[in-house]
Amino acid sequence: MLNKSRYLLALTILLTLSGCAALDKMAGLPVNEGNGYAIEHERKIYGGGVHIEYRDPELLENEIRTQMENRMASESELQDALDRIPEGGRIFVHYEATTVEAANTEWLEYVLFKDGEEVYRRKGKDQIAEVPTSYSGGIGFWWNIDAIDLRQPIKVPFKFIVISNLKDQRDTFTISRP
């Protein structure tokens, strides 16, 4: 009995110290992906959820070079693709909701703040959601992804806010260096 208690205590401490993001990822649950950047998430949108992924221009360039090499693209095709990389990187918004209509990203609005000043805002695109996921304990969330190109260079830290105009709620993400 004592060994079992120690095991449970050790497991509790491990989960507390490491956070649940790694376990969520292992279980196939969505997590915020900073790709070398820390992302703090102040969650307010419930009945589904929002997670983001930030890819800076360097990561996007590496991905494009790998894709173009695999395709055996010409040098001009590679250069055209590299020229389209947004200077501030790209944020992917992963959105889930309980109905196909609610998971349409047209209900969302994205706002970027740097040093407390709004520098970017746009509404989500009208996109039909994808079929429900199976990991959600039988609930089956409909899901969608929207990509936001940051056309101007931006330095961390910055805030990215996802507003749900359907639910009158918002999630705030702070992207910074770890």
pLDDT, one tens digit per residue, over 86-123 is 999 999 999 988 889 999 999 999 999 999 999 999 99
Task: State the Cα–Cα distance between residues 154 and 54, nearest whole angstrom.
Answer: 12
Extents of the domains making up the chain: 20-57+87-176
Asked whether the beta carbons of 176 and 110 are under 8 A apart, the reply is no
Task: State the Cα–Cα distance between residues 91 and 175, nearest whole angstrom.
Answer: 10
Sheet holding 38-42, edge to edge: 38-42, 169-176, 158-164, 108-114, 117-123
Closest CA to 118 of 165, 157, 159: 159
What is the pTM assigned to this prediction? 0.78
pLDDT, one tens digit per residue, over 51-75 is 999 999 999 999 999 999 999 999 9
Domain 20-57+87-176 falls under CATH 3.10.20: no
DSSP SS3 for 161: strand
DSSP SS3 for 19: coil
Cis omega (within 30 of 0) for bond into 157: yes
pLDDT, one tens digit per residue, over 129-140 is 888 866 655 567
